[in-house]
Amino acid sequence: MDDRPPDAVFLDLDGTLCEYRRSREELLAAAFDELGVDPFFTTAEYRDKLFLQVVTDETRAERRELAFAELADETGRDPAVGRRLAALYASMRDHGDVEPIPGALAALESLGEAYDLALVANGGPEVQDPKLDALGIRDAFDVIVYGGYDTAPKPEPGPFHEALYALDAAPRRAVHVGDTVHKDVRGADGAGIKAALLTEGSEPTTTPDYRLESLADLEDPPWEGE
């Protein structure tokens, strides 16, 4: 086993490095209003529906449309209403209207001085590229891999394997930083990579290799103290 410290760090994007200025709750409410129907599900119910979906090569837009249609059907509505709602929701989202998570830009600068960096995020370039451009962080990464576009989406190990190959990095000398157990911790574990979970004070439902209270923790990474 390779006990040397990591030389590559992978990072998630949404919820880890940035977030939309307009919340999912605001966006969903606006879509219901535009469609002229009373809300028949919440963002929490939508997330639960996505979580239960079988991981496939479908795009996030296709998965959203399916989830909205199923939620409509489950509440006695025509699934077509859910599909129209999904299209409205997508059309209202400005993917460049994001802001960095506190400490994200400083953490990227600090990590970039010591490690090869890979962005490993779900979503295609039409969704994720505007965020990178708005934040001005595209050049911070040596490699960018979009799960669900370049490979199968996280939590499948494909995106992590792709980044390892591009960086010529060994799995046990890489760490992935993300904010979800399902996609980030389990995905990294499936690829043989250690995971650092951004918890912001909440108790994770599983035990990651490292726990980060905030991105400021990355300026003195916990794996360097081992």
The runs of H, that is alpha helices, within 53-179 are 60-74, 79-92, 104-112, 125-135, 158-167
Tokens of 90: 């997508």
Is the torsion defined by CA of 110, 111, 115, 117 positive or negative? negative
Tokens of 98: 């994001």
Give buried/exposed letters for 72-84 (b at 16+ CB in 10 A, else e): beeeeeebebbbb
At 20-29, the pLDDT tens digits run: 999 999 999 9
Q: Which domains does the chain have, with CATH numbers?
A: 8-20+97-225 (3.40.50.1000), 24-92 (no CATH)
How far is it, in rounded angstroms, from Cα 98 to Cα 130? 9
At 98-157, the pLDDT tens digits run: 999 999 999 999 999 999 999 999 988 999 999 999 999 999 999 999 998 899 889 999
Distance of CA 20 to the CA centre of its chain: 12
